[in-house]
Chain A
Amino acid sequence: GDSVTQMEGPVTLSEEAFLTINCTYTATGYPSLFWYVQYPGEGLQLLLKATKADDKGSNKGFEATYRKETTSFHLEKGSVQVSDSAVYFCALESDYKLSFGAGTTVTVRA
């Protein structure tokens, strides 16, 4: 079945550092891909999405490009802030459902 594998955490960074969280997927067909973020004590919020190969999703300084050839959707941000501390989930959608990765906990220190 469809599945998502993302980088294990936790990841601890200093403010203004570069963040990359790797995500690869296995799917039949061409799923839509998403990154969701979960801030402490809150629900899942959509961070960005891409619906076809070579699409780049972006939001709040985060970017991810849908790479069909490598079945990847890595999340990047050039300069993180303390407020980016959260759990980040990569997900794909097919057959009416989202399949999530395990989540990566990111902590940004001032």
Chain B
Amino acid sequence: EPEVTQTPSHQVTQMGQEVILRCVPISNHLYFYWYRQILGQKVEFLVSFYNNEISEKSEIFDDQFSVERPDGSNFTLKIRSTKLEDSAMYFCASSKRTGNQPQHFGDGTRLSIL
């Protein structure tokens, strides 16, 4: 069964550094998403992406965040100048479309900011 894959599984970065989290969505999916889960808290929506544009973003997704689909297979989340509070598990997801087509998640990248 096709899967969403995320790399790396764990990223350790110094505060203030840039980090790029990578995802390969399921190949015939059109909608892409990033979520994060701070330890002990809810899974929170960050951003959705369709047709090379952001469809929706949350208040968390401020100017330090950006997303890109640089080629036909990858979907990336960039955090420009990381802060301690960015430490979390970041999940990528994809779906064929919204509504009754479910989102399929990767195993996540654990981001640790020192």
| A residues lining the B interface (CB < 8 Å) | 32, 34, 36, 42-46, 49, 51, 89, 91, 93, 95-103
B35 to chain A: which residues have CB within 8 Å?
A: 98
A93 to chain B: which residues have CB within 8 Å?
A: 98-99, 103
Q: What separation, in Å, do the CA atoms of A97 and B48 have in the docked complex?
A: 7
Find out whether the CB atom of B45 lies under 8 angstroms from the CB atom of A99.
yes
Per-residue CB contact flags for chain B residues 7-41 toward chain A (1 = under 8 Å, else 0) read 00000000000000000000000010101000001
Q: How many residues of B contact A (CB 8 A)?
A: 27
A89 to chain B: which residues have CB within 8 Å?
A: 43
Q: What separation, in Å, do the CA atoms of A11 and B44 have in the docked complex?
A: 23
**With A36-B105, A42-B107, A43-B91 in contact, do A97 and B99 touch (Cβ < 8 Å)?**
no
Find out whether the CB atom of B107 lies under 8 angstroms from the CB atom of A43.
yes
Tell me the nearest residue of chain B to A101, going by C-beta.
B42
Tell me the nearest residue of chain A to B3, going by C-beta.
A43
**With A99-B45, A100-B43 in contact, do A46 and B100 touch (Cβ < 8 Å)?**
no
Find out whether the CB atom of A45 lies under 8 angstroms from the CB atom of B99.
no
A45 to chain B: which residues have CB within 8 Å?
A: 105
